[in-house]
Amino acid sequence: MTRQNYFWIRASLLSLFVFFAISLFFWGILAYNIPPLDGSISAADLAQHFRDHAARLRIGYGVALPMYALMLPWSVAVFALMRRIEGGDGILSYIQLGGGILTVVVMSMGNAFWLTAAFRPETDPAIIQMLYDAGWLTVDLFFGVTTLQYCALALVLLQDRAPKKLAPKWFLWLGFWLSIEFMLEIIMPHFRSGPFSWSGLFNYWLPFFGPITWVTVMTIILYRSVHRFEEEDRAALAASSS
């Protein structure tokens, strides 16, 4: 790879932190999603919430929605680094890339439902409730694409044969566990409140903030790994020219 390629890989990896910062404020704080409203809230109360905070919700969801695109350059940068380890014919790198692209689509769809509810808060409360429900069911139950993305990334890094590994094995296996923990979302539609609801411990706090923490650390690891790949390129160039 050229020096310019490595520059864009670094920039693309850092785009994830920009996304996290924007999403935390606009989606999380401004749009009242840390934590979200409980699934047991009545249609009338939910509609009143959207009417009372319509402008704030429009800003929160309206800014957050296009910002999901910032996850895409991160996935492409990870794909480029994975191919260095897996090789050009490796399939896992493509699985990670596909999972990353679909994660952007799924998260955007959920956000679009919530923004639609905020756009017309004067509409029938039952419609507001259905849009709110559809958003959370979409975001939570399409977890499979993100699970494949994380598992593919961890599997490739486990194949790293370099003397100095990019990440410790325990950390990679933690990524597998966090991905499998998403499976609890399957029972989420049966609970409107409590720890298994979309606002509860097992289907909100753990599956959202556990993987976010893991991906944050993984991004730092991958960012630092770029230096290793640059050194390998320089050594290969020196060997070929000698």
DSSP string, 82-137: HHHHH-TT-SHHHHHHHHHHHHHHHHHHHHHHHHHHHH-TTS-HHHHHHHHHHHHH
State the chain's mean pLDDT as an integer. Answer: 93
3-class SS at 144? helix
The C-alpha atoms of residue 189 and residue 218 are separated, in whole angstroms, by 31
Q: Which has more confidence, 137 or 165?
A: 137
**pLDDT mean over 90-109:** 96
Mean pLDDT of 169-194: 91
Mean pLDDT, residues 230-236 taken together? 79
pLDDT attached to residue 134: 98
Range of the domain at 193: 3-241
Residue 175: pLDDT over 80: yes
Compute how many other C-beta atoms are within 10 angstroms of the C-beta atom of residue 139: 22
Task: Write down the pLDDT at residue 242.
Answer: 63
- Taking the alpha carbons of 65, 68, 69, 70 in that order, is the dihedral positive or negative? positive
Please state the rounded mean pLDDT for residues 190-209. 93
- Residue 238, pLDDT above cutoff 80: no
Express the helix, strand and coil content of the chain in percent, nearest 5 each.
80, 0, 20
Q: How many domains does the chain have?
A: 1
Confirm whether pTM is higher than 0.95.
no
Rounded CA-CA distance 208/222 in Å is: 21
Q: What is the C-alpha separation between 103 and 228, in angstroms, rounded?
A: 29
104-122 mean pLDDT: 97
